[in-house]
Homo-oligomer: A and B are copies of this chain.
Amino acid sequence: MLSLLYTVDLLAVAVFAASGALVASRRQMDLIGFGLMASLTGVGGGTLRDLLLDRPVFWVHDPAPLMVCLTLAVALFFAAHAFQRRFTVLLWADGLGIALYGVMGAELARQSGAGPLIAIVMGMMTATFGGLLRDVICGEQPLILRREVYATCAVAAAAVHVGLSEMGADLTLAAGCGFAAGFGLRALGIAKGLSLPIYKPRPGKNY
């Protein structure tokens, strides 16, 4: 079981690291800039999660996550131009990341004794944090401000996972369904522009 969580963690690191490197390519950074952006984005969400849960930060005693980040940084420094539409690739990598971290954040919160509500919010926060860091540092418009479903997907991933786990489903099943729900929803957001109703001010009545 631990090894499943470990693998999922590395996968989430990888896709967020790739999204960080792609933003670095959009800002025309040098190789070290790629490494920094890939590292910060790749481990950002998991670092917040571990700090909040008072667990040892997952990459501080294990070089694997950073190796994944740096490898992707180097690879994309040389290969990012192969993707004709980098921003789209970035969106999909980020979408994989939020579904994976939505599940992971919620599961690790549960394991440290948090109730369902806290586990779901922890999933939402940690899933969106790495991408926020990436966008804020680089002065990109945060993906969370775009219209299509975004944080919603992290909530869906976390909620499905927590719900199934509470009902007694085993970890693999619950995590799999949670991931599918979160990523499926995000895919509809990216590909079809699916969005929830937004807040609408009434005309003439607002600042």
Contacts and interface: CB of A to CB of B under 8 A. Distances in A.
Given A85-B207, A121-B39, A30 B199 contact: yes
Q: By DSSP majority rule, is chain A's interface helix, strand, loop, or mixed? A: helix
A139 B137 contact: no
- Range for the number of chain A residues in contact with chain B: 35 or more
Interface in A107-147: 109, 112-115, 117-118, 121-122, 124-125, 128, 132, 136-139, 141-142, 144-145
Contacts of A30: 149, 152, 195-199
A28 interface: yes
A132 B139 CA distance: 11
B118 A63 contact: yes
A107 to B, nearest CB: 15
A169 interface: no
Interface string A181-207: 000000000000001111111100111
Contact of A27 (B24, B26, B138, B145): B145
Given A28-B198, A53-B60, 11 more contacts: A32-B152, A35-B151, A36-B128, A54-B60, A60-B118, A61-B114, A66-B117, A70-B117, A84-B206, A86-B206, A138-B142
30 contacts: A25-B201, A27-B145, A28-B198, A28-B200, A28-B201, A29-B199, A30-B152, A30-B197, A32-B124, A32-B151, A33-B150, A36-B144, A39-B124, A39-B125, A53-B60, A54-B60, A60-B109, A61-B118, A63-B115, A63-B117, A80-B201, A81-B201, A84-B205, A85-B207, A86-B207, A136-B136, A137-B142, A137-B144, A138-B142, A139-B142
